[in-house]
Amino acid sequence: MCGRYVRFSTKTELEHHFETIFRIEEEPGPSYNTAPGTLNPVVLTGRAQTRGITLMKWGLIPPFADSPNIGYKMMNARSETLHEKPSFRPAFERKRCLVPANGFYEWQQSGSAKVPHFISLKEEPLFAFAGLFERWLSPENASVFTYTIITTQANPLIAPLHERMPVILRPEQYDTWLDQTQRNLGALQEMLQPYPAEAMQFWEVPEDVNKASVNHPDLMKPGSGSLQAPTLF
């Protein structure tokens, strides 16, 4: 799964990497402990098939939901069942997005405790999770835009930490994923594979990351006696 992630790239870096511009004036500050329920940059395309970056709340609220509280239960969507679930299928068909990130956290069960780890790509400091978004109308008729991060089976590196991991897309896949005219769900499903283990790394980090209210760069740094990722290749 993916319950916390990191995004510290600047507005300029995001615009350069995703070859687009922000649709909002304010620059979102860095977040070293991004949690569900927060507003974060998301990349999507409009009707003219042009990319743009905007802010959405993490935790997808389906259009038919009675309450926005369901969003906290829908921070992730399993890649294997996107085409089956009423909450995700419409978005999978025509509301796909990219979620910029610089890394993410995962917790490994160790006895009665859960040990946090920071995971990132070795050669790519900025990347994108595959995501879906939706528009929900509140009782006051206000539009609320939310997103979810798609997960898949963990690769051999991440599997000792958790059986699931977020889907990370390569830059050459961005256009296909964002293309609103692309309705070949089988082809899209094929894109949702585990990222190569040899291109990733992780290490143990301080338990402060367990608190969503704690948000600073030191959360990503190896803790005392930190466990490094094993060498698999």
Cβ proximity of 160 and 166 under 8 Å: no
Residues 6+ apart with CB under 8 A from 28: 11, 39, 40, 41, 55
One-letter amino acid for residue 150 of the chain: I
Q: What is the pLDDT of residue 229?
A: 56
Catalytic residues: 2, 106
Residue 218, helix vs strand vs coil? helix
User: What stretches in the chain show pLDDT beneath 50?
Assistant: 225-226, 230-233
Return the domain boundaries, the chain: 5-220
CATH number for the domain formed by residue range(s) 5-220? 3.90.1680.10
pLDDT, one tens digit per residue, over 98-145 is 999 999 999 998 888 899 999 999 999 999 999 999 999 998 999 999
pLDDT reported for residue 26 = 77
pTM above 0.85, yes or no: yes
Q: Give the pLDDT confidence score for residue 224 in this predicted structure.
A: 52
- Report pLDDT for 24: 81
Please report the DSSP string for 52-85 in residue order. Answer: EEEEEEES---TT-S-GGGGGG-SEEEGGGTTT-
Count of helices and strands (H, E) across the chain: 4, 13
